[in-house]
Structure 1
C-alpha cells in the first residue's frame, strides 16, 4: 500500500541561529500536523539593526504523510 504526503509552507524566526529557527518551525509544525516526515529549507535571511544581526528567519516546506482512511 502506498502513502500520500502533503507539503505546507512555514516561516520561522529565532534570535539565536538559523538552526534554532528551523527547530522552532518543526516544533510548531508537530504541534499542529501529524506524521511530519521532513522539511526543506528554501530560504534564509537575517534581520540587521545597527550593523548587527538581531534575528534569523527561514522559509521552509514541511512534509507530512496523510492518515489512511
Structure 2
C-alpha cells in the first residue's frame, strides 16, 4: 500500500468468480487492517514491459459509530 510489493495469486473459482489469493494474511497483519472498519480498493492492470498482471491495493479506515441502541 505504500509502494511495497506482495506476491499474490489470481484464480478463477466456480461460476467465474475471480479471487486474489496467497499473501493476504501478511498484508492484513502488516497494515493492521480491521474487518468492518477498513475499505480496501483493488485496481488491476498489465505491466507495460513484462505484460504480467499487476494490482494496486489501497485502504481507508471508515469512521466507526456506536451501534444504535434499541428501546424496548
TM range (shorter): 0.3 to 0.5
**Higher CA-based Rg:** 2
- Name the TM-score, length of structure 2 as normaliser: 0.37
**Structure with greater helix percent:** 1
Task: Kindly indicate whether structure 1 or structure 2 has the higher relative contact order, using CA contacts under 8 Å at least 6 residues apart.
Answer: 1
**Structure with greater strand percent:** 1
- Name the TM-score, length of structure 1 as normaliser: 0.38
